[in-house]
Amino acid sequence: MKELFSTGQIQLATTQGLRDTFEQQLGTGFDGELGDVGTSLTYQAMLNLPEKFWSLLRRFRVFVVFDEIHHCAGDETGLNAWGQVILRRIQSHARFTLALTGTPWRSDQLRIAMAEYSDPEGHILLDYQYGLRQAIRDEVCRVPHIVLIDNNKITVKRKSGSEQFASLAFALNSGEVRFQQMLFNPDTQRFVLKQAVQKLAALKLDQPGAAGLVVAASVAHANQLAEMLRNDFRQDCVVVTYNDSTAQQKIEDFRTNSTSWIISVGMIAEGTDIPRLRVCCLLSLARTELFFRQVLGRVLRRQFNACNDSGWLYCLAEPGLTKYSEQLAQEIPEQHITRRLNMDNEIVNRSPVNALKPIPARRHGEDTKEHIELLLEGQFLPQAANVMSASGEELLSVWMQGKFTERVLAMIG
């Protein structure tokens, strides 16, 4: 084997991580320079490689490693640009290939490049599967704990009457409340952040370098959450966004410094390796299973020689996120990953009108709904006894929490 190269996913941080890993394992350079045995590239970079590069696959015994291969779609039913390069330039020319992913499916339902599927069911056929259950047993990954924030008394008031819902799921399914109205509610955000801050503080007792991640919906949203962390909870944090030219350097600095929180918009969803991350707040509008699993994975990478056997994810009890949590629990039945908490009455002294911005009015000619009041004042009580680990840590982890007492004025479009 004379040449070795790896194509990683689009984030340069992931490509650098793969390069470092190959250099450590092979004991030689991996920058594509003279004397090196290979190079690490993003999928995007494949689109601009010269013909001279691709001739290497015909001249030498090349081993190509694909990380997060689900980004590349390609077969007779459909493909994308990256998948097309793999099918045309690599699949029939490389002597050896290894395609890896932690989420072997695509949200657009296209088939993954180089993968085989059953006929007619269309299920992906894996040559080797190393799941979370085994990774936990081998102490490669942490035990996941997923905390779902809910409210059992959501009242929608309008001139024509009012309606009450016993959960966020009921309210969302009714069409009277939209997910972003709950997500962008400052008191919802404050409660989610408070739970995560308290959990991180407890984890820091055994792992002082432990840190937290907040996945935000937009740049403006990220800055609001950063302000809340700093002002309300006295937490130090850094914001990294897709339009920040210094974001990659900030991520590299955060990897080894002592900053407690990093708030991300489109930067730390998959691939990025920061093992000191232990707690995550998923406050994004994206709610696909692929995105959910990728975000959860950021807090499941163990640090060697450290007490770090659990990772915590906090999010709203939106029906899809709840479903993904339940499916995850079925994969590791010996671990209790459901937890229920009781929220104290923390915001009764606040103003009765929330600062939530109204939804913009529809264009002329479109249907509109009347002005409503959204009242959140419920509370979930514990429904199961807590299960404790040997170290005394609670193991019941997918929890519904809620008790809000502010009126939210909003235009439901």
85: pLDDT strictly greater than 90? yes
Structure-block tokens of residue 180 = 């972003």
100: pLDDT strictly greater than 60? yes
Q: How many CB atoms lie within 10 A of CB 365?
A: 5
Confidence of residue 380 (pLDDT cuts 50, 70, 90): very low
Residue 187, Cα to own-chain centre: how many angstroms? 22
Q: Could you tell me if 261 and 255 are in contact, meaning their C-beta atoms sit under 8 angstroms apart?
A: no
The predicted pLDDT at position 108 comes to 84
Sign of CA dihedral 155, 156, 162, 163: negative
Give dist(CA 377, CA 348) in Å, integer.
Answer: 9
The predicted pLDDT at position 381 comes to 32
The pLDDT tens digits for 37-78 are: 999 998 989 999 999 999 999 999 999 999 889 889 988 778
The predicted pLDDT at position 163 comes to 86
Give dist(CA 80, CA 331) in Å, integer.
Answer: 31
395: pLDDT strictly greater than 70? no
| pLDDT (mean) for 234-252 | 92
Look at 68 and 384; give whichever has higher pLDDT. 68
The predicted pLDDT at position 258 comes to 95
Residue 300, Cα to own-chain centre: how many angstroms? 11
Instruction: Label each residue of the chain as H, E or C.
Output: CCEEEEEECCCHHHHHHHHHHHHHHHCCCCCCCCCCCCCEEEHHHHCCCCHHHHHHHHHCCEEEEECCHHHCEEECCEECHHHHHHHHHHCCCCCEEEECCCCCCCCCCCCECCCEECCCCCCEECCCCCCHHHHHHCCCECEEEEEEECCCCEEEEECCEEEEECCHHHHHHHCCCCHHHHHCCHHHHHHHHHHHHHHHHHHHCCCCCCEEEEECCCHHHHHHHHHHHHHHHCCCEEEEECCCCCHHHHHHHHHHCCCCEEEEECCCCCCCCCCCEEEEEECCCCCCHHHHHHHHHCCCECCCCCCCCEEEEEEECCHHHHHHHHHHHHHCCCCCCCCCCCCCCCCCCCCCECCCCCCCCCCCCCCCCCEEEEEECCCCCCCCCCCECCCCCECCCCCEECCCCEEEEEECC
**Least confident span in 143-157, 245-259, 264-278, 389-403:** 389-403
The predicted pLDDT at position 51 comes to 93
Highest mean pLDDT among 268-272, 285-289, 359-363: 285-289
Q: Could you tell me if 358 and 409 are in contact, meaning their C-beta atoms sit under 8 angstroms apart?
A: yes
Query: What is the value of pTM for the model shown?
Result: 0.75
The predicted pLDDT at position 339 comes to 55
344: pLDDT strictly greater than 50? no
Confidence of residue 13 (pLDDT cuts 50, 70, 90): low
Give dist(CA 210, CA 259) in Å, integer.
Answer: 9
Q: Could you tell me if 215 and 292 are in contact, meaning their C-beta atoms sit under 8 angstroms apart?
A: no
The pLDDT tens digits for 102-111 are: 888 887 888 9
Percentage of the chain exceeding pLDDT 90: 42
362: pLDDT strictly greater than 80? no
199: pLDDT strictly greater than 50? yes
Confidence of residue 306 (pLDDT cuts 50, 70, 90): confident
Q: Is the peptide bond before 120 cis (omega within 30 degrees of 0)?
A: yes
